[in-house]
């Protein structure tokens, strides 16, 4: 790893530049929160430069890329982790002491990123840390939840759940990428037509939502690599209804955009009612559709063809939540790049791998078929085809044994 050249004086100059540019204050006037954000911005600059160098090296070598999809990433506090991994803790401690601060009090300004609630999210975060430390080119994908799982308080011996509002202190680590926005289609219905020797799939009356990426960089310990966690925020693409708003119908005017943007509001909305089930399904498809489009776009930018996708891309799915990645990849390869079913299936099964965290039936997600077909009509037809082909293969292995095949 190339040594990061930053002495105590350079660290101080960088911090003072951030305080002046973004907050209009000098170190004596700065609040603790302003100091935390200025310090974090200087670290983000170092990570950005390192990531740029590593990305060029990966592209030049044509290295295989790892993509990790998870509904949760329990990262902890980025400032402390990155300072330790970059070997800069001591230099920053000395610089901050001259301003009357210690690193420990600056660390306390940062909230835990509200992107996970337990073992699943912590495992995902550890994998990203490990991939960076071992110099693998890796990208994680999740949703940029506005509110995390919840904050717990005990009142009179009872648990009270409050919203986990993490973004005001955590957004300093996020880099908005408005040049990488993708559209995700849900609902409506699909029509199929044969045109110029291939099947053309036409969406009608579907709802379109924009997936806006926010990137967070994850450093490795003593490594060249800086991994990227890409978090998707949902945004309505319809024009704001100014006519309704000027008539005083404010709630109705905001309703459409709110319905779209609710997808990235909360981690794990309650699903004990139909609306909650639809929202969870929407979240999962939103994540995988935007992520798959991003993977394909990045691959095409480097290679100009998808024929070598299995040799250059590995996608790992963390638990059942992102499994719609498989039919979504099939959709893109068949509908947009006109691969045959057999070729697309061969590619997808070579690219995707999966970690299952339990085999208890109650933990494996199931969806009402009518609800699924309503929300994701094209994905539904692809899953039906996957199932029929699997049953045909199972029949060859267990001829006549319908009980075993259906089970």
- What is the enclosing helix (H) or strand (E) of 148? none
Express each pLDDT in 311-339 by its tens digit. Answer: 999 999 998 899 999 999 999 999 999 99
Listed as own residue / partner, the contacts of 203-209 with beta carbons closer than 8 Å and 24 or more positions apart are 203/378, 207/260, 208/183, 208/184, 208/237, 209/183, 209/184, 209/234, 209/235, 209/236, 209/237, 209/260, 209/263, 209/286
User: Six-digit token pair at 224?
Assistant: 């060249």
pLDDT on residue 261: 83
- Residue 135: count other Cβ atoms within 10 Å of its Cβ: 17
Where do we find the tokens 């990428």?
177
Angstrom distance (rounded) from CA 296 to CA 365: 27
User: Six-digit token pair at 47?
Assistant: 């990570």
pLDDT bucket at 397, cuts 50 / 70 / 90: confident
The answer to whether the beta carbons of residues 125 and 73 sit under 8 Å apart is yes
User: Six-digit token pair at 135?
Assistant: 């110099």
The residues near 242 (Cβ < 8 Å, ≥ 6 apart) are: 253
- pLDDT of residue 400 exceeding 90, the answer is no
Averaged confidence pLDDT in the chain:
89
For the whole model, what pTM was predicted?
A: 0.90
Angstrom distance (rounded) from CA 19 to CA 77: 21
Query: What secondary structure does DSSP assign to 85-108, as a single string?
Result: HHT-HHHHHHHHHTTT--HHHHHT
Strand, helix or coil for residue 267: coil
User: Six-digit token pair at 405?
Assistant: 């095949």
Taking alpha carbons only, the member of 53, 35, 42 closest to residue 82 is: 42
Express each pLDDT in 64-80 by its tens digit. Answer: 999 999 999 988 889 99
User: Six-digit token pair at 293?
Assistant: 């489009």
DSSP bridge partners of 227: 218
Taking alpha carbons only, the member of 124, 33, 135 closest to residue 318 is: 124
- Average pLDDT of 335-359? 93
pLDDT bucket at 3, cuts 50 / 70 / 90: very low
Angstrom distance (rounded) from CA 238 to CA 252: 14
Q: Which of 133-137, 170-174, 305-309 is predicted with the least confidence, judged by mean pLDDT?
A: 170-174
Name all domains of the chain by residue range, CATH numbers in brackets.
1-61+79-110 (no CATH), 62-76+112-406 (3.40.50.2000)
- pLDDT of residue 86 exceeding 90, the answer is yes
């Amino acid at each position: 790893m190339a040594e990061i050249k930053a002495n105590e004086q350079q660290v101080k100059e960088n911090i003072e530049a951030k305080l002046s540019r973004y907050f209009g204050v000098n170190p004596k006037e700065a609040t603790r929160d302003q100091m935390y954000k200025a310090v974090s911005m200087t670290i983000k600059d170092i990570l950005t430069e390192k990531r740029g160098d590593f990305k060029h090296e990966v592209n030049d070598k044509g290295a295989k890329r790892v993509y990790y999809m998870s509904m949760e990433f329990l990262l902890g506090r980025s400032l402390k982790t990155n300072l330790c991994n970059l070997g800069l803790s001591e230099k920053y401690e000395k610089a901050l002491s001259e301003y009357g601060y210690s690193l420990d009090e600056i660390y306390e300004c940062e909230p835990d990123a509200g992107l996970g609630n337990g073992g699943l999210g912590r495992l995902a975060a550890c994998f990203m840390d490990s991939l960076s430390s071992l110099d693998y080119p890796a990208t994680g994908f999740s949703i940029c939840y506005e509110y995390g799982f919840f904050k717990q308080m005990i009142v009179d011996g009872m648990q009270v759940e409050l919203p986990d509002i993490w973004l005001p202190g955590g957004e300093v680590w996020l880099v908005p990428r408005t040049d990488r926005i993708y559209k995700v289609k849900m609902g409506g219905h699909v029509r199929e037509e044969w045109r110029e020797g291939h099947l053309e799939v036409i969406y009608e009356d579907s709802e379109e939502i924009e997936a806006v990426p926010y990137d967070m960089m994850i450093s490795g310990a003593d490594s060249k690599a800086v991994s990227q966690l890409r978090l998707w925020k949902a945004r309505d693409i319809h024009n704001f209804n100014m006519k309704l708003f000027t008539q005083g119908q404010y709630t109705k005017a905001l309703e459409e955009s709110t319905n779209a943007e609710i997808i990235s509001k909360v981690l794990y909305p309650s699903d004990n009612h139909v609306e909650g089930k639809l929202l969870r399904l929407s979240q999962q498809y939103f994540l995988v559709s935007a992520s798959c489009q991003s993977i394909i776009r990045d691959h095409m930018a480097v290679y100009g063809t998808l024929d070598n996708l299995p040799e250059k891309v590995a996608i790992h799915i963390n638990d059942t939540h992102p499994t719609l990645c498989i039919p979504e990849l099939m959709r893109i390869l068949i509908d947009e790049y006109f691969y045959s079913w057999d070729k697309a299936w061969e590619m997808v099964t070579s690219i995707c791998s999966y970690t299952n965290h339990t085999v208890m039936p109650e933990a494996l997600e199931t969806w009402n078929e009518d609800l699924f077909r309503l929300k994701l009509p094209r994905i539904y037809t692809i899953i039906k085809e996957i199932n029929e082909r699997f049953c045909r293969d199972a029949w060859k292995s267990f001829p006549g044994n319908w009980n075993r095949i259906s089970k």
